[in-house]
């Protein structure tokens, strides 16, 4: 099964190549919010969770980011229910390396046997024959990085995953990982107001890696009437979150934002940002103000 994305709104964001064989629209969807409070258990409206996923694909989103830690496994179950059998061009990325004792509790576990177990469970819960992009959710400081990435490399050799990504890493850690196995993506905290990973982003650009910013809409005071985006809002028929996403798409061709939501209306608002074109003045204003 395949979907025609040529006229879909998300296609307005342009495309990005992940590795040597995956091309996706640059506005993706993060599935973390398809869970209960504390990213734990069931969402308040399970039917809406299914509608959000199906609407995302209808709008041309063909990159969905999830993790076994979301729920745990809650978002994976909804993805399978809503979208399986998957469209040929749909890329589902997931993560391993965190365990969840309870709500808002995230603990890194990078033992090779645990990473393998989680990869196998991801395959089962998502009903995939191979995971297109498996990301190390966090580096476990108690386990050598080389052992953690090495286990993912073994899974890749076995055909259980196609590509390996990293999350919350430094440039030095990216290069250490690349000495063990091919790395195609980095997922760090990054948004218009939080750019501490700018050096990692620029390194990703130089090395041909995708940079997947998590928490891309951490607006805080940016969305307020007196916030730094207020003056730019007067030039656009757009919301502050839409401008924040448009800024990311303009800021670097390596960026693949994955805004998450549990609401179809909010999803449609986010995807509409793909058509916003910031002028040079607006881009510079947002960059300087935030």
Asked whether the predicted pLDDT for residue 12 surpasses 80, the reply is yes
Whether the CA torsion 182, 186, 187, 189 is positive or negative: it is: positive
- Separation of alpha carbons 126 and 150, rounded Å: 23
Asked whether the predicted pLDDT for residue 27 surpasses 60, the reply is yes
Q: Which domain holds residue 92?
A: 9-219+253-262
Instruction: Say if 21 falls within a structural domain.
Output: yes
Average pLDDT score over the chain: 93
Instruction: Say if 83 falls within a structural domain.
Output: yes
Give the range among 92-101, 181-190, 237-246 with minimum mean pLDDT: 237-246
Instruction: Say if 64 falls within a structural domain.
Output: yes
Instruction: Say if 52 falls within a structural domain.
Output: yes
Q: What is the rounded average pLDDT of the residues 154-176?
A: 98
Give the range among 77-81, 167-171, 189-193 with minimum mean pLDDT: 189-193
Q: Are strands 91-96 and 22-25 parallel, antiparallel or unpaired?
A: unpaired
Instruction: Say if 282 falls within a structural domain.
Output: no
Instruction: Say if 215 falls within a structural domain.
Output: yes
Asked whether the predicted pLDDT for residue 196 surpasses 90, the reply is yes
Catalytic one of 70, 73, 86, 190: 70
Q: Where are the beta strands (DSSP E) in the chain?
A: 15-18, 22-25, 29-30, 63-65, 91-96, 98-102, 105-108, 131-136, 161-167, 185-187, 210-211
Asked whether the predicted pLDDT for residue 36 surpasses 60, the reply is yes
* CATH number for 156: 3.20.20.100
Q: Cis (ω within 30 of 0) for the bond into 290?
A: no
Task: Judge whether 283 counts as a catalytic residue.
Answer: no
Asked whether the predicted pLDDT for residue 6 surpasses 60, the reply is no
Higher pLDDT, 64 or 222: 64
Q: pLDDT for 59-106, tens place per residue?
A: 999 999 999 999 999 999 999 999 999 999 999 999 999 999 999 999
Instruction: Say if 170 falls within a structural domain.
Output: yes
Q: Please, which pLDDT band fits residue 2 given cuts at 50, 70 and 90?
A: very low
Quote the tokens at residue 129. 């024959």
Radius of gyration, CA atoms only, the chain: 18
What 3-state class would DSSP assign to 147?
helix
Q: What is the rounded average pLDDT of the residues 250-276?
A: 96
Give the range among 5-9, 35-39, 183-187 with minimum mean pLDDT: 5-9
Count of domains for the chain? 1
pLDDT at 4: 42
Instruction: Say if 279 falls within a structural domain.
Output: no
pTM beyond 0.85: the answer is yes
Q: What is the rounded average pLDDT of the residues 137-148?
A: 98
In sequence order, what are the beta bridge partners of 225?
A: none
pLDDT at 1: 30
pLDDT at 221: 59
CA distances from 87 to 3, 23, 60, 223, 258 (A): 6, 13, 11, 35, 19
Asked whether the predicted pLDDT for residue 224 surpasses 90, the reply is no
pLDDT at 211: 98
Q: What is the rounded average pLDDT of the residues 127-133?
A: 97
Percentage of the chain beyond pLDDT 90 is 84
Q: Please, which pLDDT band fits residue 219 given cuts at 50, 70 and 90?
A: low
């Amino acid at each position: 099964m395949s979907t025609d994305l040529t006229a879909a709104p998300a296609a307005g964001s342009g495309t990005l190549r992940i590795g040597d064989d995956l091309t996706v629209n640059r506005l993706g969807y993060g599935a973390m919010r398809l869970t209960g409070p504390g990213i734990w258990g069931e969402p308040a409206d399970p039917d809406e969770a299914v509608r959000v996923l199906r609407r995302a694909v209808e709008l041309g989103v063909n990159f969905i980011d999830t993790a076994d830690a979301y729920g745990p496994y809650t978002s994976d179950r909804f993805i399978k229910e809503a979208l399986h059998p998957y469209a040929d061009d749909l890329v589902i990325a997931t993560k391993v390396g965190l365990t969840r004792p309870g709500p808002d509790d995230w603990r890194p576990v990078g033992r090779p046997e645990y990473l393998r177990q989680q990869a196998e469970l991801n395959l089962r819960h998502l009903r995939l024959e191979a995971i297109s992009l498996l990301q190390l959710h966090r580096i476990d400081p108690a386990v050598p990085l080389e052992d953690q990435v090495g286990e993912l490399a073994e899974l890749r050799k076995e055909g259980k995953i196609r590509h390996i990504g990293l999350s919350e890493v430094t440039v030095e850690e990216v290069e250490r990982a690349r000495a063990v196995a091919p790395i195609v993506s980095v997922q760090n905290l990054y948004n218009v107001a939080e750019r501490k990973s700018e050096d990692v982003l620029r390194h990703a650009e130089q090395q041909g890696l995708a940079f997947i910013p998590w928490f891309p809409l951490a607006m805080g005071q940016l969305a307020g009437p007196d916030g730094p985006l207020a003056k730019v809002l007067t030039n656009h028929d757009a919301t502050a979150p839409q401008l924040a996403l448009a800024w990311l798409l303009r800021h670097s061709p390596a960026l693949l934002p994955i805004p998450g939501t549990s609401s179809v209306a909010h999803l449609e608002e986010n995807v509409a940002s793909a058509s916003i074109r910031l002028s040079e003045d607006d881009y510079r204003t947002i960059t300087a103000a935030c």
